[in-house]
Structure 1
């Protein structure tokens, strides 16, 4: 059998992982899957035909080391998916600027090189909002994401200065439709639509991830949503094996919250045919 590696991490005890649903269809297609932590050293990547980045859900804590691992794989005989160039582009959320330049709607964002209470506070008036969201430009899993009123900003100023010391941050208005309606994720394998879900946060929260209590439901997107998602894919600097486009409703438009190309959960449990579609998309790319 041909050998394929899923790139993961050391400890996934606090996460929901669905990639094991790919093992059987890959085996049926003649591929053995090994799951390897990106932290491991001295791996002979030449033993693998391809390495697919999957549950590397702590990479944001060690970005340079993670990129070093990806570069090592890219320089081996193994095919890296998604491509290194694409992951480098997607690692910092400043890629949203590129999407905006291509005509896509994103949530209005102030980009700061470090935390500045006065600059952040000014955005309450700028965005005409009573609540802001602060998060790192390099982040995953909603780590170090803060939802703040004016009073909370003042009260947490010292904590925020410490959390965001020497870290670039983004400041956005809190969009209430995330709680009132939810966030939509559309999944594409080798550029073709696979499935979609609706993610709703737990009561009293605004984060939609399962790890934070979010609720997940299958969803059938309309043509307009698909058009926006495909416009985002067309703005990428390279093609992808997998892509997740996260959309929210913002001022009667679909805004791109994220274009996930490194390690998005693909929620294979919510569409029984999606694992097979993923394997077929991989085979199309590897055989061309």
Structure 2
């Protein structure tokens, strides 16, 4: 049996993970899977043909240590997927600027190195909105993500000053279609499209993650949505083993990129029963 490791975290007890659905289709192709925490010490990565980054959903707590593990894997004989240079680019949301410069429509964004309460009104004015989202440029799972109005300054300015004292962040307008329609996630394995899901937040929330009560449904993507996803996919180099592209419909009926997930996205294998088989087939071909 060929050996493959799924890079995870110490405990997934508070998370929803579907990677176990890959075990059987991979086994049929001669792959034995082992789940290993990225924090585990003294791991001989040379024993694996491949290490796939899957569910290290606490890496943002110590990105330097996370990168040390990835560099150790990269120095071994195992193939790291997605590749280290993709992770280095994708881990900071400034990658959105790179894609925007290549013609991709993103959710309008302001970038700041630290929070200054004097800029509060400017955020709303520059973005032309009454509601904003503030989040770190390095984050996962909606950690330290805030939806705010102009009137929230008194309640949040001090808190945001502390959180972003030396931590870069991004400011975006809140996209109302997140509530009225939802956020689309398109999934690709290699250069092959797999499936699309629509994520909507629970009542009185804006976060679409399952851990925050978000609702999911498998949908058939319209042509414009697929075309936008394909345009983004073709700009990613080197080629990723897996890609998740999160898009939201704009007021102009276009699709704006919210996130390009190349590090540890949930691939929602539970939503499309054929998707684990697709992934296993692509991965097996990828490694040959």
Fold shared by both chains (TM-score > 0.5): yes
Deviation at 1:235, TM superposition (A): 1.7
Give the structure 1 partner of residue 113 of structure 2.
113
Deviation at 1:261, TM superposition (A): 0.3
8 Å contact 1:121–1:153 — kept in the other structure?
no
Q: More deviation in 246-255 or 204-213?
A: 246-255
Give the structure 2 partner of residue 61 of structure 1.
61
Does residue 272 of structure 1 match 2:234? no
Give the structure 2 partner of residue 45 of structure 1.
45
Deviation at 1:13, TM superposition (A): 0.9
Deviation at 1:239, TM superposition (A): 0.4
Give the structure 2 partner of residue 180 of structure 1.
180
Deviations 1:77-113 (A, max 9, x none): 0000001111111000000001101111111111000
Deviation at 1:164, TM superposition (A): 1.4
Give the structure 2 partner of residue 98 of structure 1.
98
Deviation at 1:185, TM superposition (A): 0.2
The whole-number CA distance in structure 2 between the counterparts of 1:205 and 1:165 is: 26
The whole-number CA distance in structure 2 between the counterparts of 1:135 and 1:276 is: 35
The CA RMSD over aligned residues, in Å, is 0.8
Give the structure 2 partner of residue 86 of structure 1.
86
Give the count of matched residue pairs. 287
Deviation at 1:150, TM superposition (A): 1.2
The whole-number CA distance in structure 2 between the counterparts of 1:233 and 1:66 is: 25
The whole-number CA distance in structure 2 between the counterparts of 1:88 and 1:120 is: 31
Report 1:136-175 matches (<5 A).
Answer: 136-175=136-175
Give the structure 2 partner of residue 241 of structure 1.
241
Q: TM-score by structure 1 length? A: 0.98
Give the structure 1 partner of residue 134 of structure 2.
134
The whole-number CA distance in structure 2 between the counterparts of 1:136 and 1:190 is: 29
Deviation at 1:121, TM superposition (A): 2.3
Runs of 4+ in 1 over 4 A off after TM superposition: none
Give the structure 2 partner of residue 231 of structure 1.
231
The whole-number CA distance in structure 2 between the counterparts of 1:4 and 1:41 is: 18
Give the structure 2 partner of residue 11 of structure 1.
11
Give the structure 2 partner of residue 286 of structure 1.
287
Deviations 1:237-277 (A, max 9, x none): 31011000000011321000001000000000110000010
**SS of match in other structure, 1:96:** helix
Deviations 1:132-187 (A, max 9, x none): 11000000000000001112123211111111121000001111110111000000
Deviations 1:200-229 (A, max 9, x none): 000000000000000000011112111111
The whole-number CA distance in structure 1 between the counterparts of 2:120 and 2:217 is: 35
Give the structure 2 partner of residue 32 of structure 1.
32
8 Å contact 1:120–1:171 — kept in the other structure?
no
Q: More deviation in 235-244 or 15-24?
A: 235-244
8 Å contact 1:49–1:78 — kept in the other structure?
yes
**SS of match in other structure, 1:268:** coil
Could you tell me which runs of 5 or more consecutive residues in structure 1 were left unpaired when the two chains were aligned: none
**SS of match in other structure, 2:172:** strand
**SS of match in other structure, 1:225:** helix
Could you tell me which runs of 5 or more consecutive residues in structure 2 were left unpaired when the two chains were aligned: none
**SS of match in other structure, 2:167:** coil
Deviation at 1:117, TM superposition (A): 1.6
**SS of match in other structure, 2:186:** strand
Q: More deviation in 224-233 or 88-97?
A: 224-233
